[in-house]
Amino acid sequence: MAVADAADDGAIDAALELQPISIRLQKSLIEDFKMIAELHNIGYQPLMRQVLARFADSEKKRILRQMLHEVQQRRRAEGADEFRSGTND
C-alpha cells in the first residue's frame, strides 16, 4: 500500500464524495479508534466514517419512527373525535 499523492487524493475524495473537515477530539478517543481500527485492519479515519455513518443512519431511522408514531397517534385521535361528534361517514 502506498500513500496517494495530492492529485490522487482529490480524485478519491471526489469519487467518494468526501469533504475534509477539522474536528477536535480527545487524544484518548483517537487512540481508542486507532486500536480498534488496527484490530479490524483498517485505518482509524475510515473507521470513524463508518461509525458516524452508522450513527447517522440509526438516528434518522429513530427520528422517522418517532414522527410516524406521532402522525399515527394524531390520526387515531382525529378519528376518535369524528366518531364522538357523529361526523364519521
Name the pLDDT band for 70 (thresholds 50, 70, 90).
very high
pTM score of the predicted model: 0.69
Residue 23 has what DSSP assignment?
-
Q: What is the chain's alpha carbon radius of gyration, rounded to the nearest angstrom? A: 24
Question: Would you state the pLDDT for residue 66?
Answer: 97
What does the buried/exposed string (b/e) look like for 14-51 if buried means 16 or more CB atoms within 10 Å of the residue's CB? Answer: eeeeeeeeeeeeeeeeeeebeeebeeeeeebeebbeee
Query: In terms of Cα–Cα distance, which of 42, 24, 20, 21 is closest to 33?
Result: 42
Cell 482529490, residue located: 10
What are 53's three cell numbers? 455513518
Among candidates 21, 25, 23, 22, which has minimal Cα distance to 13?
21
Give the model confidence (pLDDT) of 1-49 as tens digits: 566 677 788 888 888 889 999 999 999 999 999 999 999 999 999 999 9
